[in-house]
Structure formats: C-alpha cells, structure tokens
Amino acid sequence: MDDEGFSLPLARHTARKNNTRRNNTRIETNLFELLDTDMEETPPSIVVHTDEITPYKLKCITAGNKKEVSMRYTQGRLTIRTTTKKAYQHAYKHLNDSKTAFYTHGYGKPPVIKITMKGLSITVQQVYNELIDRKLPLRKMRSLDKQIIQDGVKKRIKLPIHILTFDKTKDLKTRLKEVLSELFVIKVRLESYKKPTGGTQCFNCRGFGHICFRVTKCVRCSREHRVAECTQTTPKCCNCNQEHAVSFRQCPAF
C-alpha cells in the first residue's frame, strides 16, 4: 500500500521463455493427394430371393473372395455386398450363369456427359458424321420427336432437338464451346441434359428401380416373351394391369 492508501496489484508470474527453436521447415505434402488418385468405385449390392439360394450357391459366390463378400438376410431376401470389383464380378457371373433371379444396379460404366442441342433440323446421320469429322468424342446420339394427330391419323414429327452422349474428358466443355457453336452454318444452342422424371425401369421384368435377370416380360402385353415375338394388339401393363404399354410414363405405378 502506498502513502495515499492505495494498494498495488500483485506481481504476475510470467511464463518462462521457451528456448526451443521453432522448426520453420515447411512440409510440402500435398493435402489433396487422395483426390488425385483413381479411387475404386464401391460396387452396388446384389439382392437375391431366398428361395433361389442354396448352400452350394453361397459357397460358389464367396469362393476365393471371403474377405471381400458380406451377406445379410432381410425380409425373405439375401443382400450381397462386395468391397472390390473382382468380387462383384465373380458373384454377378455365377448368379447369371446359374440363371438365378437377382437384382442389382449399373456398375463400372465409363463416365459420359449428355448434352441437349437445339436449333438444327437435320438428320441424325448427317449430324453424327459432322461431329466425328470435328474430332469430338461422340459415343451416340438421337433426335427427339412428338406425336400429333392430323386428319384423324396419328403421326410422329421430328423436333429440332438432338441428345448427344460424349465420353467424359477434361477438356470436353472447352472443345464444345470452340467447335460446336454452329453446324452447317446454323447457330445451335447447347444445354445440359435433363433426365426424365421418375424411376429407372428394368429392361427385363419391367419393374422400377432396379435391373434384374428374372422372367422376361413383354413391354406391350406383359406376357413372358420379348416384344419382337409379341402378336397381341391390345396393350396391358404388368405393373398396374391397365390397358397401356409398360413403358407408359403416366402409369400409376411409375
């Protein structure tokens, strides 16, 4: 306390200086190194009905890949999960060769980009040849059409819209802007492709949301044969039993 009656604050303890020199060496590790490597895509699940499974099939599915294969029974179905492409292909091949009914999704397809091109009323073959001549990685293409009724007769007319599917490359978007602003001295408009609304339809059983190898059903009459073998004239949907083709987008089950 000083002469005027005021007390001074206590002296604070200061931390000792750290004599250890800091290492100013910069670590040149690439933090995004994992993003630059090609990581293997996780295979999708395979679903099999339990009445299709036998102990012998289970043994064949896991043969040589026990560590990469796991299975689980749920609601009368067996779900097979694999961690490697090799194990998935082995299980897929065995089930397919043994004609076992199973569900799975697309896997291992090369990456592609779809583009919608508008403003060109020229045949598909002419456009295809021109794009190939311009060295674009075009895989396939198709044109859109619509149905009209003229004089009481249904007709389909071509629209000036083409759907282009390209192999995905690093410089694809840049090349499209450079060499695809016009075709045949006609300006065209490029837009990102918008997928149709709704789920994926199986090409085999005509169900939704999966791909399977069960009984084949006709897209027209829903009977057990291919549409090329169909002789029926009245359509019938196998999903809702109404009189329309299975591929009808307005189906209540879609």
- DSSP type of residue 50: G
Say yes or no: do domains 46-104 and 112-192 share a fold.
yes
Higher-pLDDT residue of 124, 19: 124
- Runs of H (alpha helix) within the chain: 33-36, 55-61, 85-97, 124-133, 172-179
**Which of 66, 72, 63 minimizes the C-alpha distance to 45?**
72
Hey, what CATH topology would domain 46-104 get?
Alpha-Beta Plaits (3.30.70)
Q: What is the CATH number of domain 112-192?
A: 3.30.70.330
Around 10, how many Cα atoms within 13 Å sit in the side-chain half-sphere? 3
Summarised one tens digit per residue, pLDDT across range 32-90 is 333 333 445 678 888 888 777 888 888 888 888 888 898 888 877 888 899 888 888 88
227 pLDDT above the threshold of 50: yes
Judged by average pLDDT, the poorest of 26-30, 187-191, 192-196, 242-246 is 26-30
Confidence band for 164, pLDDT divided at 50, 70 and 90: very high
7 versus 65: the higher-pLDDT residue is 65
Please tell me the distance from the alpha carbon of residue 53 to that of residue 59, in angstroms, as a whole number: 10
Q: Quick one: pLDDT band at residue 27, thresholds 50, 70, 90?
A: very low
Would you state the torsion angle of the CA atoms of residues 145, 147, 153, 158, taken in this order, to the nearest 10 degrees?
-20
pLDDT at position 163 is 92
Residues in the chain: 254
- Rounded to the nearest integer, the mean pLDDT of the chain is 78
Look-up: residue for tokens 């190939």? 132
Buried-state track 84-115, b at ≥16 Cβ within 10 A, e below 16: eeebbebbbeebeeeebbbbbeebeeeeebeb
> How high is the pLDDT of residue 162?
92
pLDDT in tens, 200-224: 778 778 887 776 766 788 888 888 8
Domain parsing of the chain, residue ranges: 46-104, 112-192
DSSP 208: B
What is residue 4's predicted lDDT score, i.e. its pLDDT? 54
pLDDT of residue 39: 44
pTM for this predicted structure: 0.48
